[in-house]
Structures are given as C-alpha cells and as structure tokens.
Amino acid sequence: MRAWESNIRKVVPYVPGEQPKGDRLIKLNTNENPYPPAPGVAEALKHMDIDRFRKYPDPTASDLVHALAEYYGVGDDQVFVGVGSDDVIAMSFLTFFNSEKPVLFPDVSYSFYKVWADLFAIPYETPALDANFCIHPEDYYRENGGVIFPNPNAPTGLLLSLEAVEDMIRHNQDVVVIVDEAYIDFGGKSALELIKKYENLLVVQTFSKSRSMAGMRIGFAIGHPDLIKALNDVKYSYNSYTMNMPSLILGTETVKDDVYFKETVQKIIDTREWSKTRLTELGFTFPDSMSNFIFASHNRVSAKELFEALKKQQIYVRYFDQPRLSNYLRISIGTREEMEALFAFLEKYLAQ
C-alpha cells in the first residue's frame, strides 16, 4: 500500500441501481413516476434565460423554499432543500446524529441509512421488522442517538398509521426523529401535522417520486426552525450553492401546479390498486403497499427467475439478493399500458 492510501476513508462502495438506456424498455425498477413533470415546468424551461447561468444561484433557494412553505402551510424558516432527499438525509445524519449511542432504523428499510452511518462513523442498531414486514413502535422505546424510518417503508410499501408514528416520536423526544416520507403522497397521512407539537421531528420528502422530477434532484425537510437552522449551518459549511438554477426555477414551478400533481398521483394510485388485483390473480402475494411500488412474491416461481425472464423482455424490475428479500420483486407502478405489458408477459410465462 502506498503511504497516502492509509489516509483514505474506507467505505463499502455503494453500487447505484441499474439505469438501462433505450427507448423501448419498460423501466419499473427505481420507483420513478411514469408521467412527465407538470406542464408549467416545460413552459418555464422554454423561457429559461441562459445568460443568467453565468451567475451563482441564490444560495438560500428562497423561491423554492417559499413555494414549499406556502404549499405546506409552514414558515420559510421551517423548510430546508437539498439535492434530492439523499442529500437532505445525508446532511441530517451529519447534523443530528452525533451521539455515542446508536441511531435506530428498521433492519429492512432504505438501504442508504446503513451507508450513511458507515460513512460518518455513526453507531447504529436495526430493530427487526416482524414476519409480516411490520415496524413495531415499541422496538424504538430504548435509549438511542436518533431515530429514522421511511413511511411508507421501503421496499415493502407498508404504511404506519399516524398514531404509530406519533407514538414513536413521543417516546423519543430526547433525540431527533426523522420520518422519511419519500412515498407518502401515494396514500399515506404525513407526519407534517405533528411538527407543531414536536420540536425534534424532521419530515423529509422528495420531488423524485410523486412530483415526477427524479432527474432534477430535489428533496426537502420540514421541521422546527432550530432544526432547519442547524441543517443550514452544516449545508453552508459544506457547499453554499447546492441547488443549481434549473432546479430552483423548475422546482418552484412544480409546486405551483397542484391540480396536475393530484391528478397524476391519483392515476398512479388507481393503477396500483388495479395491479394488486392482477398480481393476486397471477398467484402473487405482497404487503399491502401504499407507495408507488409493490413488493411481490410468487407462490410457485422464484423471484430471481422472474427477474431474469423479465429482463430478457426489456422489462426492468428491482431484485434484492439478500436475506428475507430474495424471493420478492419490487415493481414500480408505471402507466396502465406498461403494467398491462408486464402482466401480459407474466401471464404467458407463468402458464408454461
């Protein structure tokens, strides 16, 4: 080993999910929205003034922050924005989880929590989901350095009731509790209404799923002004200008078109519910997802086999080669047409 290598941070490199290229493939593997961004976004893009790009963007992201604050009925000083919810949560780990005690999150959950904890050398423990993939709030009643969980959970899609979420917060008022609501718009009840009551609650959401903007990288956190200030202090100590001009301009535009937002979300919910029926008919079982994906297992054919067979047809779903998850496929909800193509193939394949 060369001497300078000894000072390099050791991390287990996270391998990002497959991003296959091509126009004819059906991509149901990364929980993207099947519908394009709101019409106003295309309009704003058309009028974007390239000459402004030579200048730095607004470091406070004030327009986007204000649009979100207004939409969710909170103060501008209660909103933090970042480069996707990954950036927001990574910065939250760095900002809020500085205890010697372990941070708690479910053993089956968003896989990045472990990666961030490792990156920043944060101790953690992972209470196990039960046999039905459910989170039990009482597993989080013990001493810890912080709590984070997705609601609905990934990759199961299972939703905790707002009462259960509040129960977890109530038992953890000495630490920061982060509720990662990447998928909340697809049928869940947000914990946002609890932020008035709990100063230690941070709710994180993203533009990548319900708002059709994965390609723009926008995430946000809402919480008590003191939490947001602490996040901003760290953000300004890392990179003052994380959000580029297009994301500020187009992100703001996205928030404004609430009609389009609600229509497309409803279409996805409808397709999901119909997909559940079709999956059941085809012999699949699955936790009752309230997100934009379904985590499904077939009663006869292995998930791995189905994953490979689908891939050959240019239909991409997500497969997790790990304990407890290896006989499931995580299938993102596409358009009705995409799902029909998926089920048509599965019907044929499973009849063999």
Residues in region 123-182 near a copy of itself by CB under 8 A? 145-146, 173-176
| Residues numbered 12-31 forming contacts with a copy of itself, rule: CB under 8 A | 12-16, 19, 27, 30
Query: Applying CB under 8 A, which of residues 2, 24, 300, 312 lies at the interface with a copy of itself?
Result: 2
Q: Find the angle CA(147)-CA(272)-CA(302) to the nearest 5 degrees.
A: 80
Query: Applying CB under 8 A, which of residues 70, 143, 193, 233 lies at the interface with a copy of itself?
Result: 233
Query: Applying CB under 8 A, which of residues 70, 111, 143, 239 lies at the interface with a copy of itself?
Result: 239
For the purposes of burial, counting CB atoms within 10 Å of the CB of 269, is it exposed (0-12), middle (13-18) or buried (19 or more)?
middle
Query: Applying CB under 8 A, which of residues 25, 58, 267, 278 lies at the interface with a copy of itself?
Result: 58
| Residues numbered 266-295 forming contacts with a copy of itself, rule: CB under 8 A | none
| Residues numbered 61-100 forming contacts with a copy of itself, rule: CB under 8 A | 83-84, 86-87, 90, 94-99
Asked if residue 35 binds a copy of itself (CB under 8 A), the reply is yes
Asked if residue 41 binds a copy of itself (CB under 8 A), the reply is yes
Structure tokens at 65: 């922050």
How does DSSP assign 188-243, residue by residue? ---GGGGTTT-TTEEEEEESSSTTS-GGG--EEEEE-HHHHHHHHHHHHHH-S--S
Q: Is the dihedral of CA 155, 159, 162, 168 positive or negative?
A: negative
Number of Cβ atoms within 10 Å of the Cβ of 56: 10
- Closest distance to a copy of itself from the beta carbon of 47 (Å): 11
Residues sharing a CB contact under 8 Å with residue 238, sequence separation 6 or more, in sequence order: 91
Asked if residue 263 binds a copy of itself (CB under 8 A), the reply is no
Q: Find the angle CA(265)-CA(203)-CA(189) to the nearest 5 degrees.
A: 45
| Residues numbered 202-231 forming contacts with a copy of itself, rule: CB under 8 A | 208, 212-217, 226, 230
- Closest distance to a copy of itself from the beta carbon of 243 (Å): 8
Backbone torsions φ then ψ of 28, nearest 5 degrees: -120, 35
- Closest distance to a copy of itself from the beta carbon of 7 (Å): 4
